[in-house]
Structure 1
């Protein structure tokens, strides 16, 4: 009986070891803890650039019209001519106005004679009235009234004569400033005037081209970064490979109601006549922040249906904080919100990070 017991025990032990060897080991899953990187928000002075289309126009430009109904008698200049201030450009002919001047001059001489006579009569009566009983007071008053009335008529005649003289002066049209004749719309003998077909187009258009204006419409959100005196750079397509510079000379100080933009003008020296009015330019606006602002990586700002926010860290827990976005430059962006110099933000924020997420 003893040998049989030993054999049974050995077989049982072998079977147990075999079953243990065949049973596979179970893998224990280890929960991965997500890594959340944070940073301390800081202020910077962000400088960005904005490329905007602009237009070059003459520093001064005027359209010249005829004030008197007349005909073109002489043309002194043509398109492209360089003119000086006060230079005669065109001579007009208006026979009716010349006749009016002659008539006004005749009335003036006539009224001068009438006034001279009435004034002389009044003076004689005044001297005679000094002898008591020679001239009645009524006669003296009537003579004085007649003299005053004739004097008023004389002044009216002088005003009428000067008016016709002024109208005749409009028959000679002169250049109001130094510039270039940009356009001419009349020929010899053409009828011109303040009304009718003769007034549809200007006689001449004069432009000052030695100095130009560069006009650009700056969107509302960027207008506050520009100041008078800031230097800007621009290029034009007709002059390739060259960059021009100009300083901001004036700002409109108001927004256009349609485009919601502010008009900014720069004065451009053009003594070499390289640039022409009407050219389209590409101007590079340098937007330099006047004060330091909070600048963060773009990955820290989340734009969702709930709004624009960043994920701040308070007491080792996440808190969504709504912000306003400013300018963007490369991988950085301006934000405005309730921050301090020691506020910690999540660098790679997303909508999946909920409020109250504990950082480990």
Structure 2
């Protein structure tokens, strides 16, 4: 037993004598969201600081879609009476102006129609004279009422027939007022109803076209429609009458002004709804072209910072707040809408009475990241 106590005492003596006399210096703790600059860095960094500012920030809704033709801007050209194509120089894509001759048509029935019109016109003069003669005789009781009524009926029938033939002539672009026996023609001209370009040509020279056949399809590129997609979160912000600015990827500097006419009421598979807008001037825009569009809306006045003051770190938004002359703290920020290079700050109370870094925030973020890597 005595030996055991002796051994324990020796063990304790050895343990006490082995304790190190030098103490290690613990590292100085630094906050992970705080960056401190040296005098040299302060001199080289371009930093500006201000409190949050009150701003009215326009909210811009960005959409995409296509420029589409309204139904009335795609015109199918037919010949009301049919006929043979005598001449045409149209090819798909060719532009034309209003009044240009699209094709010459030829048919025997054009001659017959003009003949019938002129014959009926001559008969009308004769029946009119007979009607006036019978009227005068009937007033003096020199002729029966039946003869007068018959003359009146023939005059009225010829008058109706002439008017009907006149309208038929107008269908094939023949002016009945200038038609005479010396001006009868076997060909007619099909004229362009507006400025545009040819989409399709369905005939060739010598082909017979019936009245139901479509000879050409013409496109009027004026006043195209925008067919845009808006997603669910922005649907409530849109209404008819709002202004739209559209542009293409190939020429983003060229802007096309428009106005919303209506929004759809059904969702697509991607939870988007169609928005349709009229374009005030679509000259130069090709139907079917892919377009981008922006709809700008004013919001109420709110606390904001310049867009460059907001930095993103690990998927979140932050602002740098001055903690002294050389220290800056990274503080979480709840951002709202962005417009005119300003961003809304929803948690403005967290920055009340503090100076926020407006210019140089990204430089501070890089310095903070570098200091974290060195540790």
TM-score range, shorter chain: 0.5 to 0.7
Distance 1:118 1:289 in 2: 76
2:130 is equivalent to residue 120 of structure 1: no
1:92 pairs with 2:125 = no
Counterpart among 183, 206, 209 of residue 192 in structure 1: 209
Q: 1:151 is matched with which residue: 118, 135, 155?
A: 155
- Equivalent residues of 1:225, 1:290 under 8 A apart: no
Aligned counterpart for 2:287 among listed residues 277, 294, 299: 277
Query: Hey, what does 2:94 align to over in structure 1?
Result: 81
Query: Residue by residue, what CA displacement relative to the aligned partner does 1:203-240 show, whole Å, maximum 9, x if unpaired?
Result: 132333xx56361425265353578574635332xx3x
Q: What is the alpha-carbon distance in structure 2 between the residues aligned to residue 281 and residue 149 of structure 1?
A: 64
1:225–1:290: structure 2 CA closer, same or farther, 3 Å change rule? farther
1:251–1:263 Cα contact (<8 Å) kept: yes
- Structure-2 residue corresponding to 1:64: 76
Q: Does the Cα contact within 8 Å between 1:214 and 1:267 map onto a contact in 2?
A: no
Closer/same/farther in 2, CA of residues 290 and 149 from structure 1, 3 Å limit = farther
Partner SS for 1:78: coil
Displacement after TM superposition at 1:43 (Å): 9.5
Mapped to 1, the partners of 2:265 and 2:134 lie a distance apart of 69
Counterparts of 1:1-360 in structure 2, within 5 Å, are 45-57=56-68, 61-66=73-78, 67-126=80-139, 128-129=140-141, 135=142, 139-169=143-173, 171-195=188-212, 198-199=213-214, 202-208=215-221, 213=224, 215-219=226-230, 221-222=233-234, 224=237, 230=243, 232=245, 234-236=247-249, 239=250, 242-246=251-255, 248-257=257-266, 260-268=273-281, 270=283, 273=284, 275-283=285-293, 285-292=294-301
Distance 2:132 2:281 in 1: 64
RMSD of equivalent CA atoms: 4.8
Q: Is the 8 A contact 1:75 1:89 kept in 2?
A: yes
Quote the Cα distance in structure 1 between the aligned partners of 2:135 and 2:264: 68
SS of the residue aligned with 2:172? helix
- Which runs of 5 or more residues in structure 2 are unaligned? 1-52, 175-187, 305-309, 311-335, 350-375
Query: When the two structures are superposed, what TM-score results if normalisation uses the length of structure 2?
Result: 0.52
Task: State the secondary structure of the residue aligned to 1:72.
Answer: strand
Alpha-carbon distance in structure 2 between the residues aligned to 1:152 and 1:51 = 66
Larger radius of gyration: 1
Q: 1:222 to 1:246 in 2, by over 3 A?
A: farther
Paired positions, count: 256
Q: 1:279 Cα shift?
A: 1.9
CA separation in 2, counterparts of 1:243 and 1:207? 23
Aligned to 2:364: none
* Alpha-carbon distance in 2 for matches of 1:266, 1:212: 5
Deviation of residue 178 (structure 1)? 2.0
SS of residue in 2 equivalent to 1:176: coil
- 1:83 and 1:180 in contact (8 A); partners too: yes
C-alpha distance after superposition, 1:18-73 (max 9, x if no partner): xxxxxxxxxxxxxxxxxxxxxxxx99755444442222356983323213322212
Q: Secondary structure at the match of 1:86?
A: coil
